[in-house]
Structure 1
Amino acid sequence: MSESDHLFDACLDGLYGSICDPGRIAEALQAIRHYTNAASSTLASFDAEGNVAGFNAVNFPAGMQAAWMQYYAGLDPRRTIAMAQPVGHWVTDDRLIDPLHSPSREYANDFAVPMGMRWMRGGKVYDGKFGSATLCVQRPGHVATFDDDIVQRLDRLLPHVQRAFGLRLELNARLPAISAAMLSLDLLDIPLCVVNGDAKLLHSNSAGEQVLQKSRCVRLRTGRIGACSANADALLREAIRKACTANPREASAFTLRDPLQPGAAELSLRIRVMPLPLTHPLMVGPSEPHAVIVLDHGRNAVDPVHLQALFGLSRSEASLAVLLAAGHPAKTCARLRNVGIATVRTQIANILAKTGSASQIQLCAVLGAMVPLREGGERGGIFVPRRSTEELDHPHPGPLPGGEGGIPASLARGGGQAASASSICSLAEATASFSASAPIARPSA
């Protein structure tokens, strides 16, 4: 690997590291300065109205950084031109900071010259709903100006600067919601974990941490959740895969037995794996899809309060969700709750949106894993809802192929196989696909 490639990798390490740690912006700018053979480098950010929101620089005295933000930003001709250009259009006119030719002599004489800035390359590197940003590198007058090779290096950096800066801005904008979501999960007494498609633990509440520390059914190794036996681990990994990357994303529920005392029901662990809605506050930017894992010892019901905290449902929406998961059609739900059918349909639309479900079938799959249905039984580790005797909004055409009464054949035979909860939904509507975001990855260089 050439020295140029090593410097490029150092730039990427700093840029992507700064997404969650703004303190590493200086590291990224220092690497960019070396990569472009510059004397200084700057990154200026602006809010959606074009006002200066931040200014980071290397080889700039702190007092001059503050002076630029408070006064000279309004005089900087580079900023005016760069902000008027599309992302990736590099400003290469060195006369902009030449004291003899600059359209802003005050800026050139009182700021650029004292800072040793004579040659520059830069431009807009980000423009989105959260604001915009410009990146510039500078050299003093006693060295040669930047050549075409430096512009090519800036072109190579551009997609990474754009991506990293955009993700950092979105993260900053969503931090309050993320913090509130984490707090709401921590307040629940039900053990919860959030993982990605590789089973990497992203967040767990206090109850979830206790289960991970004490249970012999599951373990945490190298930051990933797994089961203690090979077969159970394969079952858990497959459930996580379905919740994160399957199309459509699916929910699953099954029981893990204690490896030392498999007959001790109180030591068994009930596992429920559900897709985390892509609109959930814990989902940041174009992230990879996440899953929620409920780790529970023998609990047979989840309080609707848990649905409120996890999905942001209102109290009435949470109670309606439990009825829907039990197989009740909208008309029955309206009668049981003494409200109009129009109210129920509006709340169903809200529930679908908040849980990230595209249809009632997907909603049944998610809630079937989350809420053990009181009106149904358990077969083969899967909660099977009991159909209402009234007419369904989406009439069922009959038993599923190869099964009995709408139950898949493997479950009807009592084979004990764990399957997705969506496979036992009694509705016959075709399942719509979840949209899945691409995982965070560096764009190709």
Structure 2
Amino acid sequence: MERLAGIEPIVSLLYDGVLNPGDWYDGLDAINQMLGGIGFHYFALHAQNFAVLDSVSLAEFPAGKVQEYEVHYAQDDPRAARVFALPVGELMVDSDHFDAQAVSSWPIFADWLMPQGIRDTLSVKLRTDDAQREFLAFFRSPGQRLFNVHDKAVFAHLLPHLHRASGLRARMGQLEQQAALGLGALDKLSQGIFIVDETGRIQHLNRAAQACMAAVAAPCRAEHERLVFAASEANTQFRHLLTAACRQRSPASAGAFRLSRDAGPWWGVSVLPLKASHPLASFRQIHLAMVVLADPQGSVCPSAPLLGELLDLTPTEARLALALAAGKTIHDFASTESCSWHTVRTHLKNLLRKTGCHRQLDLVRLIQALAF
């Protein structure tokens, strides 16, 4: 089929759209053009009550008409109910399911679609989970022929890519939200925090780190976007610890060293591993390290809520982390919380998994670095 020759550029746009919303919608528009449609409507519905959570339309609707659909028609749209009842990977065309009598009697057709110049719709369920359902529809006007078997065959070649790209977009969105939460929490800490990759390239630094590098006798600097310590011996120690923290083929490990200052007390420098799935690593899926530069006389221990926000911990996990860093045992914590030590061990396992630490000692080092 001639139209299949134009699929590859569309597929590229859909996958580029995983990180770039503009490319995603350009890809949907390209599908619309390939199908000879007059526009498309993408929206996400609440899984239980079908309330509209997100909506993007590329069609010549009069002002307020999309909102009118969302408020008055979306929850009772028989097309949405029909397409969401289909297995993933199957599409629906209105003209295959609703005859002329239904078109004239259903409010969605008679009162909204037809007055907007829409006669036929090709619809697909992009993704569904416990929270929401994504719906995508392409339109044809009464002056055009109905979607036929050839149109469905062309669209079927794109469906696997649409589903896969939609799922990736959802995953990237979740990771970006988690990362934004974690990075926002870093700015609340008084310690200088650097997130770096295995080469020392700075991925993020908090306000305290920025202030530290701007100081007159700054202990470190950014050189070609990489973190470098002013003292050569300190920089050698840093590079050694960074390699251990970003190690991929064997367990990563944390480490620390002291950095002397000409005036005032020494700095404490901790280099801690962040596994690729950690929220602070975002969607890049690379091994990163958290470098903590702290003044032991000027910092305070973070609160349990702040620690939970920073490391994506539950309140109980955050309290356990702080207790362990303070020298308490699992049995001490179980007694304080009035629960079994088996329950506490489960919390500890979750702590190790979420922080990317392999041992309790590594976890304690991580929390103590944040508590200097």
Instruction: Report the TM-score, using the length of structure 1 for normalisation.
Output: 0.61
Q: State yes or no: 1:363 paired with 2:360.
A: yes
Q: State yes or no: 1:321 paired with 2:324.
A: yes
Q: State yes or no: 1:154 paired with 2:152.
A: no
- The residue type paired with residue 305 of structure 1 is P
Q: State yes or no: 1:125 paired with 2:126.
A: yes
Counterpart secondary structure, 1:113: helix
Task: Give the 3 Å change call, closer, same or farther, for CA 34–182 of structure 1 in structure 2.
Answer: same
Q: State yes or no: 1:241 paired with 2:246.
A: yes
Separation in 1, partners of 2:104, 2:269? 67
Report how many residues are paired. Answer: 348
What residue is the counterpart of 1:206 in the other structure? Answer: 207
Structure with the higher helix share, 1 or 2: 2
Deviation at 1:198, TM superposition (A): 7.1
Deviation at 1:80, TM superposition (A): 1.3
CA contact (8 A) 2:278 2:356 kept: no
What is the percentage of aligned positions where both structures have the same residue? 18
What residue is the counterpart of 1:66 in the other structure? Answer: 67
Deviation at 1:189, TM superposition (A): 1.1
What residue is the counterpart of 1:293 in the other structure? Answer: 291
Deviation at 1:8, TM superposition (A): 3.2
CA contact (8 A) 1:279 1:354 kept: no
- The residue type paired with residue 158 of structure 1 is H
Any gaps of 5 or more consecutive residues in structure 1? 258-262, 373-445
* Alpha-carbon displacement from aligned partner over 1:387-409 (angstroms, at most 9, x marks no partner): xxxxxxxxxxxxxxxxxxxxxxx
Deviation at 1:138, TM superposition (A): 1.9
Deviation at 1:154, TM superposition (A): 3.1
Deviation at 1:122, TM superposition (A): 2.2
Counterpart secondary structure, 2:19: helix
CA contact (8 A) 2:330 2:344 kept: no
What residue is the counterpart of 1:90 in the other structure? Answer: 91
Deviation at 1:49, TM superposition (A): 0.9
CA contact (8 A) 1:77 1:104 kept: no
CA contact (8 A) 1:277 1:356 kept: no
Separation in 1, partners of 2:114, 2:337? 73
- The residue type paired with residue 57 of structure 1 is S
What residue is the counterpart of 1:392 in the other structure? Answer: none
Counterpart secondary structure, 2:359: helix
Correspondence 1:41-440 to 2 at 5 A: 41-53=40-52, 54-61=54-61, 62-96=63-97, 99-100=100-101, 102=103, 105-144=106-145, 145=147, 146-168=151-173, 170=174, 179=181, 181-195=182-196, 201-214=202-215, 215=218, 217-219=220-222, 221=224, 225=227, 234-235=239-240, 237-242=242-247, 245=248, 248-254=251-257, 270-276=268-274, 291-296=289-294, 299=296, 303-305=300-302, 309-311=306-308, 317=320, 320-324=323-327, 350-356=347-353, 362-368=359-365, 371=368
Q: Cα RMSD over matched residues?
A: 4.6
Deviation at 1:84, TM superposition (A): 0.8
* Alpha-carbon displacement from aligned partner over 1:9-47 (angstroms, at most 9, x marks no partner): 3333344323xxxx8875564354345543211112111
Deviation at 1:124, TM superposition (A): 0.9
CA contact (8 A) 1:256 1:270 kept: yes
Separation in 2, partners of 1:8, 1:216? 49
Deviation at 1:320, TM superposition (A): 2.8
What residue is the counterpart of 1:30 in the other structure? Answer: 29
* Alpha-carbon displacement from aligned partner over 1:199-237 (angstroms, at most 9, x marks no partner): 665543211222344545342645x65667795675354
Separation in 1, partners of 2:199, 2:94? 48
Deviation at 1:103, TM superposition (A): 8.6
Counterpart secondary structure, 2:123: strand
- The residue type paired with residue 17 of structure 1 is N
